[in-house]
Structure 1
Amino acid sequence: MLLYMSINPSLQASTPLHSVSVAGAVVREDGRILAIRRADNGTWEPPGGVLELSETVEDGVRREVYEETGIKVSVERLTGVYKNVNRGIVALVFRCHPEGGSEQLSDESTAVAWLTPEEIAARMGEVYAVRLLDALQSERAPHVRTHDGRTLLDMPQAS
């Protein structure tokens, strides 16, 4: 695509650039969900990050969760797709099951905790809390949501 864009500069103006991130909604048997407090801004979020070009989506989820929390996981299923329209980030969130490891801090996290759904709603901003709460709805198809980085947007559905 980049080669084509350099040959056809008019494509550059019309081709949106998006980043793809992955996150794990890691749910324990007792219903508590894994979360981190980010080192860069102090907010509570699900563990996750940018998907690397050379890895599968599932490998990216496992890597990000382990790097940020010390917890090894199995990836169960996609629970949501979330687009930040202001930053061009598409986040894929997967429900995961813990399989080993122990909680540890990283360069990216100043706290790692297993939170109840009520604690998630109280500690996290709306656009992050909804990702974990959506993952608890095990019988629903993946959610598709749009936000501006802070607030969910009610976008019209295509017909």
Structure 2
Amino acid sequence: MKPAPLPPKHSVSVAGIVVDPAGRVLTIQRADNGHWEPPGGVLERSETLEDGVRREILEETGVTVAVERLTGVYQNLTKGVVALVYRCRAIAGTPHPTPEARDVRWMNLDEVAAEMGPVFAVRVFDAFEASARSRTHDGIRLC
């Protein structure tokens, strides 16, 4: 008799949309692939969602943030990743490149639309909406 298949597993990631008083968003250019994205990464088992967002942003940008609210949940159907995205505000630190981010900069929304791929840009735009969104994608395009 064949054993039952294991249930599918997902990786949980967190990201922060850090917005300054001028409405610009803190972004990173990833060191591994050169893509522009909001800072974020895989949630560690021992941390809360909000602690994970704060850690990832600090590690990737040098900026300490206050987490304000959940703005969206995004499921990558191809890779089995679920990302929870939070709107944040900077409270300390100066943005600078890190081992994970070859560049860090504040972008306005027009720059986000021009520089980021659709599945990451939509996370930024959703952070400016009044309520949280739930979206699925294939890693490149929204479904």
Counterpart residue number, 2:40: 48
Q: Are residues 1:66 and 2:58 paired? A: yes
Instruction: Give the RMSD, CA atoms, in angstroms.
Output: 0.8
Q: Are residues 1:84 and 2:73 paired? A: no
Counterpart residue number, 2:132: 142
Q: TM-score under structure 2 normalisation?
A: 0.97
Superposition pairs of residues 1-159 of structure 1, within 5 angstroms: 9-10=3-4, 12=6, 15-137=7-129, 139=130, 141-153=131-143
Task: Provide the secondary structure at the position in 1 that maps to 2:33.
Answer: coil
Percent of aligned positions with the same letter in both sequences?
57
Task: Provide the secondary structure at the position in 1 that maps to 2:78.
Answer: coil
- State the Cα deviation string for residues 21-41 of structure 1 (Å, max 9, x = none): 000000000100000000000
Output the CA distance in 2 between the equivalents of 1:133 and 1:39: 23
Output the CA distance in 1 between the equivalents of 2:95 and 2:88: 15
Q: In structure 2, list runs of 5 or more residues that go unmatched.
A: none
Output the CA distance in 2 between the equivalents of 1:51 and 1:39: 19
Q: TM-score under structure 1 normalisation?
A: 0.87
Output the CA distance in 2 between the equivalents of 1:52 and 1:83: 18
Between Structure 1 and Structure 2, the one with more helix by share is 1
Q: In structure 1, list runs of 5 or more residues that go unmatched.
A: 1-8, 154-159
Greater Rg by CA = 1
State the 4+ residue runs in structure 1 displaced beyond 2 angstroms: none
* Equivalent AA in structure 1 for residue 136 of structure 2: T
* Equivalent AA in structure 1 for residue 17 of structure 2: A
